[in-house]
Structure formats: C-alpha cells, structure tokens
Amino acid sequence: MEKFADIQSLLKGYYNIDFPTSIFQLADFLQNYPEEELEIDLGTVHVSPSGLLSLILNPKLLTENFKKLALLHFRYYRDLPEFFTYLHGDCDGLHWGLLLDDPSVGFRGAASYYNNDGDQITVYSSIFSALIDRCEEELEYCDECLADFPEDEDEDYLETKSRINRFLERIQDYIGKHSIEIVENRVESVSSDSGLGLCVPEKFRRNESSKVYSQDLRKDTIYSVCSIERLLTQSSANAS
C-alpha cells in the first residue's frame, strides 16, 4: 500500500524480506478504526498489535539499535523460524504470526499458539481469517456464559457480544471494500503433530506422509523448509 511505502522499504532493509500486503492492510484497518472505540474493541477480543504490526503502526520503533537485533525482536522461545509475530493475546504467551514456509513463494497464511503451555499450533488461511476466527471464538465463549451463568449477569455478556459483533462487521466490511483474498492457498505437504505442517517445494517431496523433526532442547521443534532444502540439497550432492 502506497501510504506504507516508507515503512515497507525500511522493513525490507532490516529483514531482507518482502512482507505481504495483508499486514499493511491490517494496519490500515486499525488506523482507520474509530479512535475512541479501537482500544475497547481490541480489548474485548483480547488481542493487541505486536511484532511487525506494532512496527508498522509506530515506525519510530525502527531505530538503528533495533536494526542490530531485528531478527530477534518479538520472538518467543518456541517460535519456528518461519513464524513472524504480529499480534499477541491476553494470557499464556498466546500470539499470532505470519508464515514464511517457502521464501521463493512468500508469506502465506498465519498461525497462533500459546507459548507457555505447549498446546498445538492453530493454522489459518490468512491474517484476516485469523482475526475473524478470534472474534467467533469470543462470541462462542459469550454464548456459553449466557447459558451457564445467572440471568443477572446476562447484560455484561450481551454488551460484550455487541462490541465483538461491531468489530467483526467492520473487519468484514473492510475485506469486502478492498476485495481482500482471505484464503492464501497455503498447502501443507508434510504433516506434523505440532499442528503446523510443512509446505515443502514439490522438487523436494519424497514421502508426503512422513514427519520431520529436529531433536534439540525444544520438544518436537520442526525444521523450517529452508533447513530442509539445505539438508536435501547437501544429501543429493553427497550421493552423486
């Protein structure tokens, strides 16, 4: 997006990666949200800008000191190499990230997980679909509370539902207005019991039913596709 051209250029200089249009569209959506309602509505769905999104919204954070440690910023202990944080939640290290499985193709899809409890990774077709899913989760929780708790508490949950629906409707309106594609065709070809499979380039695919793990200090940490490419290329060279 043209309004973010300068920050887009800075980020590319720091990371040597072209970040997707969708992350700048999400920033644009938040910047144009009614200011007096933004903090309330984000708080209602329990998300806040973090990582890349916070840098786009506040370019003053991009200093020379930041550049020295750019690749380490906003990374959680269990983050995979292809995971780039852009939102965080309200507890247990919950955060969302863009996915860069195959640098030759670019960013596709998004994922989230709780860093502190070892839960599985949840994968989404795009960052906007991830935000929609979050809203729907919170609406479902409100409905459960309305069914389980006394009627004198209904008013609070009904008000919460109203705010979530307002936020959700504005997201959907923005998606429609800008013809945003919320399915980014991220196709996993190697499964994983972490919840996040691998998108391996076709030329490197051998056994699609296999699972690929590394055995380091983090339990069941999966190699990134970049690492797999290097390993397979080296293996082929040695074999010849």
With a cut of 50, say whether residue 228 has pLDDT above it: no
Q: Across residues 33-37, what is the average pLDDT?
A: 95
Q: What is the mean pLDDT of the chain?
A: 83
Q: Across residues 54-59, what is the average pLDDT?
A: 89
Q: In what order do the strands lie in the sheet with 48-49?
A: 48-49, 83-88, 94-99, 110-114, 122-124
With a cut of 50, say whether residue 217 has pLDDT above it: no
The secondary structure of the chain as a DSSP string is -GGGHHHHHHHHHHHSS---HHHHHHHHHHHTS-HHHHHHHHHHTT-EE-HHHHHHH-GGG--HHHHHTGGGTT--TT--TTEEEEEE-SSTTEEEEEE-S-TTT----EEEEETTTTPPPEEESSHHHHHHHHHHHHHHHHHHHHHHS-GGGHHHHHHHHHHHHHHHHHHHHHHHHTT----------B--TTS--B---GGG-S-TT------SSSTTPPPPHHHHHHHHHHHHHHH-
Kindly state the percentage of the chain with pLDDT values over 90: 49
Kindly state the percentage of the chain with pLDDT values over 70: 79
Q: Where are the domains of the chain?
A: 2-183, 187-240
Stated pTM of the model: 0.81
- Kindly give, in sequence order, each residue whose CB lies less than 8 Å from that of residue 184, ignoring residues fewer than 6 positions away: 22, 107, 108, 109, 125, 126
